[in-house]
Amino acid sequence: MTNSSLLRCAAAFLVLSAYIWLFGITGVIEGDAPVAYADEGLETPRSEPEDSDEDEGFLSGTNLNINPVNDPKPTFADLPGNDSPALQEDYTAYADTIPFVPDSAEAEPAPIPVTTTTIPPPAATTPEPSPPAGDTDSGVTPPEVISAPEVTAALPPEGGIDIGVTPAETVVNPALAGRLTVQTSNGQVTDTALNIVSRIVQHEIGSSFHDEAIKAQAVAAYTYIMHYQSQGGVANAELASAASDKITGIVREVLGQAIYHEGSYIASVYYASSAGYTSSSANVWGGDIPYLRSVQTAFDKEHDPNYGLVAAFTPTDIRVAVLERTGINLTGDPAAWLRIINHVDTVYVGDMTVGGHTSFTRPDGREIPFTGRHFRDVMGTQKLRSAAFEFTYDSDTDRFTFTTYGYGHGVGLSQNGANILARHYGYDYKQILAFYYPGTTIQ
């Protein structure tokens, strides 16, 4: 081989080596594209989470743009002047279809209040709406629910506020210039109203929810903050580090709109999922609030990802939790430890006995009745996700099996329910809010 041939071979080898080296560096810099998970109406296959402490999250394998970790939801117990401890609610996005059969199949559904009509709901003219394009849902109308509550949408005075902002920002919404303060787990945060509400919505439900559900969440969050502010308080909320352009744009459309009852901001509490019915404030925290009464949500059974989840506990799990949090030592046959006495709001466990006790005493001396809500607190609100539950004990496997319906305290706006009403039944955000907060107005 001649010298020139050797030189050409060496040059080719150097070029090839440089190409491989550069390609490798590029791959490292750019990295692999992240796995994208399609949003299919939140009806995703479930992968069972491993046992974890209450401070740990559950969605390690399914990304629906929902932040399930340490997700405190507003509660009526948080309101100024109420000395009840706040409940911390979390939610996940696991699908299940275990049928729910209430103790009393004959129970009459709670009536759904109807407000004055100015915006006719789409379901009134389309009893069985077609599902959106690409949606595989059957479009079955939930019985006795899908005639939407009619909405009183108060119009701004002539020449009043325009809640939208043009691309050139020629129309100014005063709410955009306002600043809000919220109390987070890391301290108080003050920012523009747009940023605060957008970050709350991003943390609570993310971008995968229907636009109208996002609007409903935004108005509820803003109203809740203003409810506190109007009483000289600071609302509890958790914030995402930043909000997406989609969330910020949708929040901008409705920022400044709020929900009112008799001229005042309402306590617009919300949570992950209801259980075929929402809970009333009276049966959860005490105090009958007209717009926080139980509403039937029959569509949960078909569509809600938290309907019919199963959790297993050993007798030791229950014995330890009850002893640590109530001081009661459970002994004898585990089959006799727990008994449900009645239900409230149709499907939620009311009074019950634990080890024959109808109540327990806290270290501060306060006597607490055993109810479904308090037993859920004892077991952990992530482990027992709703006070709407039923259970069995199998002596052969020495296991308690709990089936829960819904996720959270159940009072007010169901976040997954809002998504269902928007996606499957064509509700807009005002109809969603009027449904979950009956007798209110939006302006």
In degrees to the nearest 10, what's the CA dihedral of 222, 227, 228, 231? 150
Count of Cβ atoms closer than 10 Å to residue 304 Cβ = 27
Q: How far apart (Å, rounded) are the C-alpha atoms in residues 282 and 303?
A: 27
Contact (CB, 8 A) for 281 and 411: yes
Tokens of 404: 């829960």
The pTM of the full predicted model, rounded to 2 decimals, is 0.66
**What's the pLDDT score for residue 300?**
97
Q: How far apart (Å, rounded) are the C-alpha atoms in residues 227 and 371?
A: 29
Which of the four pLDDT bands, split at 50, 70 and 90, describes residue 13? low
Averaged pLDDT for residues 56-66? 24
**What's the pLDDT score for residue 176?**
73
- Of 75-79, 87-91, 370-374, least confident by mean pLDDT is 87-91
**What's the pLDDT score for residue 2?**
55
More reliable by pLDDT, 173 or 430 = 430
Tens-place pLDDT, residues 67-83: 323 335 775 434 333 33
Count of Cβ atoms closer than 10 Å to residue 277 Cβ = 25
Tens-place pLDDT, residues 212-247: 999 999 999 999 999 999 999 999 999 999 999 999
pLDDT at 166 over 80: no
Tens-place pLDDT, residues 284-336: 999 899 999 999 999 999 999 999 999 999 999 999 999 999 999 999 999 99
Q: End-to-end CA distance of the chain: give it in Å, rounded.
A: 88
Q: Is 306 helix (H, G, I), strand (E, B) or coil?
A: coil
Provide the angle, in degrees to the nearest 10, between the axes of the packed helices 315-326 and 372-379.
Answer: 100
Averaged pLDDT for residues 248-266? 97
pLDDT at 155 over 90: no
DSSP letters of 345-395?
TTTEE-BEEETTBSEEE-TTS-EEE-BHHHHHHHH-TTTS--S-EEEEEET
**What's the pLDDT score for residue 4?**
57
- Please give the C-alpha separations between residue 97 and each of 43, 100, 310, 384, in angstroms, as whole numbers: 10, 9, 11, 17
Q: Is 161 helix (H, G, I), strand (E, B) or coil?
A: coil
Contact (CB, 8 A) for 142 and 298: yes
